[in-house]
Amino acid sequence: MNPIVEAALVLADGEIFEGEAFGAEPDTAISTGEVVFNTVLSGYQEVITDPSYAGQIVTFTYPHLGNYGINAGDHESRRPFLRGVIARDIPRRHSNWRSDTDIDSFLRQSGVAGISGIDTRRLTRHLRDAGAMSGAFGTASEASLLAAATAEPGTAGVNLAATVTADAAYDVASKRSDRVEPWNMVAIDYGIKSTILDQLALLGNVTVVPAGTPAADILARSPHGIFLSNGPGDPEAVTGATDTIDGLLGQVPVFGICLGHQLLSLTLGLEAFKLPFGHHGGNHPVRNLATGTVEITSQNHNFCIADSPVSGVEFTHMNLNDQTVEGMRCVHAPAFSVQYHPEAGPGPHDSRYLFAEFESLMTTHHGAR
């Protein structure tokens, strides 16, 4: 076992939490970011490797983190982009036949610091009441940590999608198992997850392009459908995204998830705002307004779309916890989006039907394959 190293977490409002360091040791002995909490009971590896957490320090409310280790096959991206991990307890041993390594070793290899022994219940209650805020943790003095926390700008107004997008276009081959000719889709990468690509590949071939790719270059690939991916941070800070999406609308069917939903909504004239502490978890109830069905969903977003009516936009889904917008469709063009994650690795899978709806939209627009 590694020796115990005392550490502390200090929030920008001066709240202090004592704990123990694990994972990588940052060069400055301090890790900073916007502190949020996630309520999932499993899937910590998928959370840690989800690019949508860029710029954030994630608090896991489930008391044990790392029980079943880390398995490279379940990574959601090429590496973690989050700023740090906060946990109540890290088990001494992990146990699962699929695991490749333990969480401490994985974070060390990935250059991500963590702090354990934290009263995550107290921290979560504080964030719920005061809102997500900047924080700093590490082995430095409390005064140094407070100074770092107050200097951390957070995620508002920062184009975090530019820090996680692919450097160049790449292809994902179709995994379609029937005899139907596969669709050819283009996914704009604002921080796309591997599980989303797995779901799209069940429909056909996917070309993933960087976030700054112009609409003309995308249309030159003659896609049957466009996917707008999830990603981190403030949608209004993603440079050029609405211009690109505006050039695609009406030309080809469009499907957006999470940040992609927000960007499509902004393009159509809706407004975005920041939630007090965001939605981060795997158990949010969402009502499908067309069918009345309630879906249990996986969510990860700090920003949201306002429900002010805009001509040509129809809201399709609503969060039952706080009545915020969870989905919409464009009335005058083949385009729709949802705020939550229907791909949901490892789950729940109540909303995966939306990928079939994307295929249905492509079929209507282009004809049966």
pLDDT tens digit sequence for 202-259:
999 999 999 999 999 999 999 999 999 999 999 999 999 999 999 999 999 999 999 9
pLDDT reading at 345 higher than 60: yes
Positions of E strands within the chain: 6-11, 16-23, 30-38, 56-60, 84-86, 113-116, 133-138, 170-172, 183-189, 204-210, 225-228, 254-257, 272-288, 294-305, 313-319, 325-330, 335-338
What are the Cα distances from residue 368, in Å, to 71, 104, 166, 182? 39, 49, 32, 11
In degrees, rounded to 5, the angle at the alpha carbon of residue 168 between the alpha carbons of residues 108 and 207 is: 105
Residues in the chain: 369
CATH fold for the domain made of 161-366: Rossmann fold (3.40.50)
pLDDT tens digit sequence for 47-77:
999 999 999 999 999 999 999 999 999 999 9
* Separation CA 33–CA 200 (nearest Å): 32
Quickly tell me which residue has 């998830």 as its tokens.
Answer: 257
**Amino acid letter, residue 287:** R
pLDDT tier at 1, thresholds 50, 70, 90 = low
Domain ranges, ordered by start, for the chain:
6-151, 161-366
The separation between CA 59 and the C-alpha centre of its own chain, rounded to angstroms, equals 15
pLDDT of residue 4: 85
Q: Is 186 helix (H, G, I), strand (E, B) or coil?
A: strand
pLDDT tens digit sequence for 153-173:
999 999 999 999 999 999 999
The separation between CA 278 and the C-alpha centre of its own chain, rounded to angstroms, equals 11
* Separation CA 245–CA 189 (nearest Å): 13
pLDDT of residue 277: 95
* Separation CA 55–CA 239 (nearest Å): 17
pLDDT tens digit sequence for 94-127:
999 999 999 999 999 999 999 999 999 999 999 9
The average pLDDT across 191-199 equals: 98
pLDDT tens digit sequence for 353-367:
999 999 999 999 988
CB atoms under 10 Å from CB of 176, counted, come to 16
Provide the b/e sequence for 80-111 (b: ≥16 CB within 10 Å): bbbbbbbbbebeeebeeeebeebbbbbbbebe
pLDDT of residue 369: 77
| Among candidate residues 230, 130, 233, the one with its CA nearest the CA of residue 188 | 230
pLDDT reading at 2 higher than 90: no
* Separation CA 73–CA 255 (nearest Å): 26
pLDDT of residue 367: 84
pLDDT of residue 297: 97
pLDDT of residue 261: 98
- Looking at the chain, list the stretches that DSSP marks H as alpha helix, in order from N- to C-terminal side: 44-48, 103-110, 120-130, 142-151, 161-164, 194-201, 215-219, 241-248, 259-267, 353-366
* Separation CA 133–CA 114 (nearest Å): 18
Provide the b/e sequence for 252-271 (b: ≥16 CB within 10 Å): bbbbbbbbbbbbbbbbbebe
Task: Write down the pTM of the prediction.
Answer: 0.96
CATH fold for the domain made of 6-151: Glucose Oxidase; domain 1 (3.50.30)
Active site residues: 258, 341, 343
pLDDT reading at 21 higher than 90: yes
Q: Report the chain's mean pLDDT, rounded to a whole number.
A: 96
pLDDT reading at 185 higher than 70: yes
String of DSSP letters for 115-142: EES--HHHHHHHHHHH-SEEEEEESS-H
- Sheet with 204-210, side-by-side order of all strands: 170-172, 204-210, 183-189, 225-228, 254-257, 335-338, 325-330, 313-319, 272-288, 294-305
pLDDT of residue 179: 86
